[in-house]
Amino acid sequence: MKPYYGLNCGYRHIDCTASYGNEQEVGEALTERVGRVTTRCFITSKLWNITDVEDACKKSSSYLGLNYLELYLMHWPMAMLRRPDGTMYYEDTHYRDTWTAMEKLVDNGLVKAIGLSNFNARQIDDILSIAKHKPVVNQVVSSMSSISHCCL
Among residues 7, 18, 9, the alpha carbon closest in space to that of 73 is found at 18
Give the structural domain span for 129. Answer: 2-142
Binning pLDDT at 50, 70 and 90, where does residue 2 land?
Answer: confident
User: Is there a domain that residue 150 lies in?
Assistant: no
User: Is there a domain that residue 33 lies in?
Assistant: yes
User: Is there a domain that residue 149 lies in?
Assistant: no
Residue 20 a catalytic site member = yes
User: What's the whole-model pTM score?
Assistant: 0.84
- Give bridge partners of residue 13 from the DSSP assignment: 42
Q: How many domains does the chain have?
A: 1
User: Is there a domain that residue 147 lies in?
Assistant: no
Q: Are 98 and 127 in contact (CB under 8 A)?
A: no
Among residues 116, 122, 105, 114, the alpha carbon closest in space to that of 138 is found at 116
User: Is there a domain that residue 116 lies in?
Assistant: yes
Q: What is the tens place of the pLDDT at every residue in 31-88?
A: 877 655 435 789 999 997 777 899 999 999 999 989 999 999 999 888 777 788 978 7
Among residues 35, 34, 14, the alpha carbon closest in space to that of 25 is found at 14
Residue 130 DSSP symbol: H
Distance CA 19, CA 45 (A): 10
User: Is there a domain that residue 95 lies in?
Assistant: yes
Q: What is the tens place of the pLDDT at every residue in 107-143?
A: 999 999 999 999 999 999 999 999 999 999 998 876 5
User: Is there a domain that residue 152 lies in?
Assistant: no
Query: Which position among 11, 20, 63, 72 bears the catalytic label?
Result: 20
- What's the CATH code of the domain at 13? 3.20.20.100
Distance CA 144, CA 42 (A): 26
